[in-house]
Amino acid sequence: MDAFREIGLEPRLGPNFYGRRGYFAGTDEQRASDIMGFFEDPGVRGIFARGGWGSARVLPLLDYDVIRANPKVLLGYSDATALITGVHAKTGLITMHGPGPGNRFSTQHFQSVLMEGDADLLVNLAADPGDHIVNREHRTRTITPGVARGRLVGGNLTVLSAIVGSDYLPDFTGAILFLEDVDEAVYRVDRMLTTLRLAGLLDRIAGFVFGRCTNCDPSSGFGSLTLEEVLADHIASLGIPAFRGSMIGHIPEQFTLPIGGLAEVDADAGTIRLLEPAVI
């Protein structure tokens, strides 16, 4: 709350913020009502959705005609992937993948993209000169070289793969797909990418960015592919510009990315260039 106030925003909690039904903040209907109330309120300029689990459950309960008629910033990541992707797919509005204000790096990107309307070049943090001369923490790796342009789609791989086949996924044709995840064994990442491939989604994209898969280690059983091998199997074979290691995901410093915004990826440089303002 204080972080929002620090940059000049006044936070307001939904009526059911402190509600409880199991691991949810109230029933699905109550949570959907909070979202719709914020969209209908002209005094609300933006909505920030926290992670966890459950945003997919409210998608059938939202009024997308009302949302389309009352455009405002909708921001979140992790489980909120379902909400920001679903709203974009149903309304055509640009939504935002990223964290709220926090550390200096993430806050600067939040302010630049959402408050100043800048079309930024998203470049990973450089190596700390007092630590290592080679960037280890925020290093990018090219999967397939090249440059591609397209509309950004993506988010958390687990959540995105769980809504495949529904009406809440946008058209992937010519898109730049970005993905991230946390606490997933490599074989599960393999399984979820296979789901996207079998659904024909990967064959439609123009470019690919893999952020971070935090705590995604090979299983302790007999034998495992590495995450790099899994990405090579599913992505390198597409022959499209692709890289991994972008500052997207469950990490302290994160980019803010506009879902539906036009962008250019340079897989050799490991950068994402936003080609238009996400807000006006």
Span 34-80, pLDDT tens digits: 999 999 999 999 999 988 899 999 999 999 999 999 999 999 999 99
**Per-residue pLDDT, 280:** 77
234 catalytic residue (yes or no): no
Catalytic residue among 180, 184, 234, 246: 180
Q: What is the tens place of the pLDDT at every residue in 222-258?
A: 678 999 999 999 999 999 999 999 999 999 999 999 9
Contact status, residue 164 vs residue 201, Cβ threshold 8 Å: yes
Every domain range in the chain assigned CATH 3.40.50.10740: 2-104+110-115
Q: pTM, whole model, 2 decimals?
A: 0.94
In the set 88, 97, 250, 253, the catalytic residue is 250
Q: What is the share, in percent, of the chain residues with pLDDT greater than 70? A: 95
> Which residue pairs, CB below 8 angstroms and at least 24 apart, start in 166-170?
166/59, 167/89, 167/90, 168/56, 168/59, 168/82, 168/85, 168/86, 168/89, 168/90, 169/85, 169/89, 169/201, 170/85, 170/88, 170/89, 170/259, 170/260
Residues of the chain with pLDDT under 70: 127-137, 219-222
CATH topology (fold) of 118-274: Glucose Oxidase; domain 1 (3.50.30)
Query: What SS3 string covers 186-213?
Result: HHHHHHHHHHHHHCCCHHHCCEEEEEEE
Query: Is 78 an annotated catalytic residue?
Result: yes
- The reply to whether 253 belongs to the active site is no
- Using alpha carbons, select from 269, 236, 15, 44 the residue that is nearest to residue 135: 269
Catalytic residue among 78, 106, 161, 246: 78
**Which of 3.40.50.10740, 3.40.50.300, 3.30.200.20, 3.30.420.40 would CATH assign to domain 2-104+110-115?**
3.40.50.10740
What residues does CATH 3.50.30.60 cover in the chain?
118-274
